[in-house]
Amino acid sequence: MIRVENVNKVYRTHGGDSVVLRDINFKIARGEKIGILGRNGAGKSTLVRLMSGAERPTSGAIYRDMSVSWPIAFGGAFQSSLTGYDNLKFICRIHGVDAKEHVAFVQDFAELGKYFREPIKHYSSGMRARLAFAISMVVEFDCFLIDEVVAVGDVRFHEKCRVELFEKRADRAMLIVSHDAHFVREHCDHAAVLEGGELRMFNSVNDAYVYYDARMH
């Protein structure tokens, strides 16, 4: 279970304080999949960063009694001056996982060929995305944070990701941020709409979309 309790996030800007998240409360149980809908700039990515623990709330608390991933497939969580292989080793070291057992999987999944041992800064965006996703699958988390995972890559890559994440790891909890309504409907049990820094939770994904569409048009 992850409990988000009375979480507020305020950023200081030159024009005064900017409240990005306001009194957020919700829970994710084991295996539960929640979609987050919201316009650009609604604070979805900030919420994901807070959930991952990379950033701390200004007030309120997030209690985790299951392990939570970093925002998966997110290329920004890697070191561009290092090779794909070195990044894999780094992630494995901080999570206490043996990198050797996963080299074959990452090489096979990311299809980088000899680029696996080249610095990431020389990769195309597709290569980066494939590597990022593959490395994200190396550590087994109880809850995966997914921020626009399907934004890059071709159809075949999407299908591979779908199998890894939603078939092989169907029992995990997930927080999914996506603009793709079809994707959210297919994978989420519930959905919430983030708007003006406030989160409104809906039991059915359908209700969330009805509300969201009404507000956006």
Contact present, 202 and 193 (Cβ < 8 Å): yes
Least separation in angstroms between CB 90 and another protein: 5
SS3 at position 28: strand
Contacting residue, 91, 174, 188, 208, with another protein by CB under 8 A: 91
Residue 86 within binding range of another protein, rule CB under 8 A: yes
Q: How far is CA 176 from CA 30, 191, 198, in A?
A: 15, 9, 17
Number of C-alpha atoms within 13 angstroms, CB side, residue 45?
9
Contacting residue, 39, 89, 160, 215, with another protein by CB under 8 A: 89
Contacting residue, 1, 66, 82, 181, with another protein by CB under 8 A: 82
Contacting residue, 49, 158, 190, 215, with another protein by CB under 8 A: 49
| Only segment of 52-60, 100-108, 178-186, 199-207 that touches another protein (CB under 8 A) | 52-60
| Only segment of 34-42, 50-58, 161-169, 208-216 that touches another protein (CB under 8 A) | 50-58
**Strand partners of residue 198:** 195
Which lies closer to another protein via its Cβ, residue 140 or residue 186? 140
Which lies closer to another protein via its Cβ, residue 83 or residue 209? 83
Which lies closer to another protein via its Cβ, residue 89 or residue 162? 89
User: Is beta strand 190-195 parallel, antiparallel or unpaired with respect to 198-202?
Assistant: antiparallel
Residue 52 within binding range of another protein, rule CB under 8 A: yes
Report the sign of the C-alpha dihedral through residues 166, 45, 152, 216, in that order: positive
Residue 53 within binding range of another protein, rule CB under 8 A: yes
Residue partners of 171: CB distance under 8 A and separation at least 6: 30, 31
Least separation in angstroms between CB 74 and another protein: 7
Using CB under 8 A, which residues numbered 62 to 81 contact another protein?
68, 70-71, 74, 76-81
**Strand partners of residue 190:** 34
Contact present, 154 and 143 (Cβ < 8 Å): no
Which lies closer to another protein via its Cβ, residue 79 or residue 204? 79
CB burial readout 83-100, b (16+ within 10 A) else e: bbbbbbeebbeeeeeebe
Sites of contact with another protein (CB under 8 A)? 11, 49, 52-56, 68, 70-71, 74, 76-82, 86, 89-91, 93-96
